[in-house]
Amino acid sequence: MTDHELGPVQVNPTEGKAAPTSSGSSSVQIEETEDIPASTARGWRFYGAFGTLCLVTFIIALDATIICVALPTIADDIGASAIEAFWCGTSFLLASTVIQPPVASLSHIFGRRPALLASVTIFAGGSIMAALAKNVAVLLGGRTLQGLGSGGILALTYVIATDLVSLRERGKWFGLISLNWAIGSILGPLIGGALVEVSWPWLFWINLPFCGIAYIAIPITMRIKRKEDASVNTKIQEFDWIGTVIFVGSLTSFLIPLSWGGVMYNWSNPRTIVPLICGILGLVGFGFHIKFCRKYSRCDPLLRPSLFTSLTALSAYFATIIHGIIVWCLVYYVPLYHEVRGSSPIASGVAVLPFTGTVAPAAVVVGLLIAKTGIYRPFVWAGWVLVPLGMGLMMLLERDTETFRWVLIYLTGGLGLGILYSAQSFAAQASASNSDLPFAASLYAFCRSLGQGIGVAIGGVTFQNQFRKQIEKSPEFANKAEEWAKDASALIQVIKKSPASMQLMKDTIIDGYIKGLRTVWLVMTLLACVALLVSLICVKAKSLDRKFETEHELHQGTVEEKNAVTCSERNV
């Protein structure tokens, strides 16, 4: 297979072969037009590339959710405290978030394929490290590496998709990627609950066969090359090293205290306040850096300032952060709601299916509709109408709510969030120039991950405060309020193992849970209403019909392969 640029070809009817022509005349001449660039040809590599993207998306979605129901068992086996078990999940999320913009920028300079292979390698290495862990330090290291690899894969999935299809077509293909994400998210808790009964290291070993398939598929299918390549020295100078250090350091400093505030340390503790303030100041400094770095260096800013010049794009990124907050709170707190009602971890994972099982079909259908109509704004509005409705209905959940009621409630919220998975990305990308589209797509993915990181803080603070207030109302257990609020998830095992003689304590904890979760749903409802208002005011209708241009093309292979694919496209 060759990766060179393909010029006009002349077909020799006697030999049935295509040969380059040196003149404009030919018996049968097939040339690429400006409207059909190489990367839009629907050859086997195109479908293979998208299949590979779907595969790696499935892997990271499975891994992100497979550990949720297994953390208590893992913590007990390796002697980890509740706080250390908490960090096993949080370290993955934080690492996944901070790495996304640097990986997207590196892939633009050094190539998509090397960046994706490196991300899969890091993810596989983290999986091996976590599977072999005998203590919490090694497990945390493995989960952090998995997060770095997962974040790189997530960002590159959206970036590479922009290299393969035009803006208008992107909805159906993004919908397909979302479908695989949803399947992985649905199967994660179910497979995790089953594997932890056998041996918890299999939660991580299961990733390796998929990584092996990806290692084979990526070099074969993703022949994506930058049109204007440069020397290694030039590439090194193009990368924003200073901005990356400022961004990663500042965002980490911002997210870590958000994660441990109220859990490891009080919000008034200097260990929470100081890094939080430093992180905010660092991010402000990063904003000045990307605005002026072109004046004192040759680097391409880590985040291009042109991405933030449109009100439609800004509102889309803001709403996507809220979308991430809501999704995280649902994925984390809905299983807790069912476990505190007495369901097993596996049954709690099944209970989330009406929510997660609705997201993917909605994303696919809306993506297809947007691709057909070229209209995205009504879908953004519809999604943000359904989400606050679904969150508001969740405030009606009680400890004895009938199954059909909570199923209908989850379906409402899942439908709205699924619509937004597809529609919201168009609001962000439609405002970007062709050269900025890959960066807009990766920034959209980053904003959703950032929302999930912020959701850790918002959900945790909201739940803990209300849970503590509810326990303080009980004279018998008021002195336990602060202690219980800091480690409320561990109380689920206390409820399940407590004898009937401790029914009063069990009822007090369950009531505290229900009231605490109700306040979380209220906050999510208010945030969704803010996103709806911003979308109604700020999201403008922009055309999705534009000439497809990309700096990174997918090459179909030999001249004969490419010629046949182009002929097929035109005949259709």
Backbone φ, ψ for residue 111 (5° rounding): 115, 145
Does residue 570 register a pLDDT over 50?
no
C-alpha–C-alpha distance, residues 436 and 550, integer Å: 9
Amino acid at 169: E
Q: Which two tokens stand for residue 66?
A: 């497979």
Element counts in the chain: helices (H) and strands (E):
22, 5
Backbone φ, ψ for residue 33 (5° rounding): -95, 170
Q: pLDDT by residue (tens digit) across 353-400?
A: 888 788 888 888 998 898 888 889 999 999 999 999 999 999 999 988
Judge whether 279 and 254 are in contact, CB under 8 Å: yes
C-alpha–C-alpha distance, residues 504 and 533, integer Å: 44
Res 24: pLDDT: 39
Q: Which residue has the tokens 């090459």?
A: 555
Sheet holding 9-12, edge to edge: 17-20, 9-12, 29-30
Does residue 572 register a pLDDT over 50?
no
Which helix (H) or strand (E) segment is 63 a member of? helix 44-66
Q: What is the pTM of this model?
A: 0.81
Does residue 231 register a pLDDT over 80?
no
Report H helices in 239-302. Answer: 241-260, 270-296
Judge whether 345 and 189 are in contact, CB under 8 Å: yes
Res 565: pLDDT: 42
Q: Which residue has the tokens 């202690």?
A: 483
Query: Quick one: average pLDDT of 454-468?
Result: 84
In terms of phi and psi (left: phi > 0; alpha: psi -120 to 50; beta: otherwise), the region of 16 is left
Res 122: pLDDT: 96
> For residue 210, what are the contacts with CB-CB under 8 A and spacing of at least 6?
55, 56, 58, 59
Amino acid at 443: L
User: How large is the angle between the packed helices 100-110 and 437-472, nearest 10 degrees?
Assistant: 170
C-alpha–C-alpha distance, residues 60 and 65, integer Å: 9
Using the 8-state DSSP alphabet, how is residue 229 labeled? Answer: -
> For residue 110, what are the contacts with CB-CB under 8 A and spacing of at least 6?
235
Res 550: pLDDT: 65
Q: Which two tokens stand for residue 139?
A: 């497990």
Does residue 311 register a pLDDT over 70?
yes
Q: Which of 452, 178, 189 is nearest to 326 (CA)?
A: 452
C-alpha–C-alpha distance, residues 221 and 275, integer Å: 44
